Amino acid sequence: MKRKQKRQKRPTAQKTERLRVLLRHAAIQRRVAAVAREITRDFPGERVHLIGVLKGACIFLADLIREIDLDTSIDFMAVASYGKSKESSGQVRLNKDLDSNIAGLNVILVEDILDTGLTLSYLRRILLERNPKTLKIAALLDKPSRRIQDIEADYVGFTIPNEFVVGYGLDYGERYRNLKDVCVLDVPIA
Ligand code: IMP
Ligand code: MG
């Protein structure tokens, strides 16, 4: 019996949206492994506690932690995101707090992208109040040209130009997180 060939379903851009590859999956994987080696070197013989900022950082965190050659543990926080818009509201709201105490731990806050810096400044401030032993920031992407708050990441995957990107965890209205590459998303202004 002849079977109908199944078409692989791929996430396709809506008709009016255009995707352009900025960072290929293979390059991301190489860079994530290099960042993990830096972390492994910086904390010899110690445990690192990775805190992922939901939801964008989950893919980066999952790849990063598997390349770290140390004792590790994971927790997550969730903050209000951009929603459907491409612009930040400028307000940060904590939607989910940590499950456990971080006092005395080597904390690495893992974020998908450092843009205006509002989110990470807020999270850094509330986490420092909880007395971790150390607090570092790992961001897959950095858009320094957009910075409003004075904050830098200790570990950066890639510095990128001021363009709106999706894929590898990053979304636009919750879509495109499953793309393996990081792509620039062009949405025509209505
Ligand atoms: P910040 O508070 O402006 O630094 O923004 C951080 C958050 O905004 C990130 O965690 C992302 O969720 C979102 N964001 C910023 N730039 C982009 C982008 O280019 N694509 C998708 N999300 C972005
Ligand atoms: Mg987001």
pLDDT in tens, 44-56: 999 999 999 999 9
Q: Which atom of ligand 1 is nearest to the CA of 119?
A: 2
56 Cβ inside 6 Å of ligand 1: yes
Residues serving a catalytic function are 115
Q: Helix, strand or coil for residue 145?
A: helix
* Average pLDDT, consecutive stretches of 10 residues, N- to C-terminus, the chain (190 residues): 51 80 98 98 98 97 98 96 59 92 98 95 96 98 94 98 97 96 86
Q: Which ligand is nearest to the CA of 166?
A: 1
Alpha carbons 13 and 121: distance in angstroms, whole number: 33
Which residue's CA is the closest to the ligand 1 atom numbered 19? 164
pLDDT in tens, 17-52: 899 999 999 999 999 999 999 999 999 999 999 999
Compute, in angstroms, the gap from residue 82 CA to the centroid of ligand 1.
Answer: 7
Which distant-in-sequence residues (6+ apart) come within 8 Å of 2 by Cβ? none
The pTM score is 0.90
Six token digits for residue 17: 């949206």
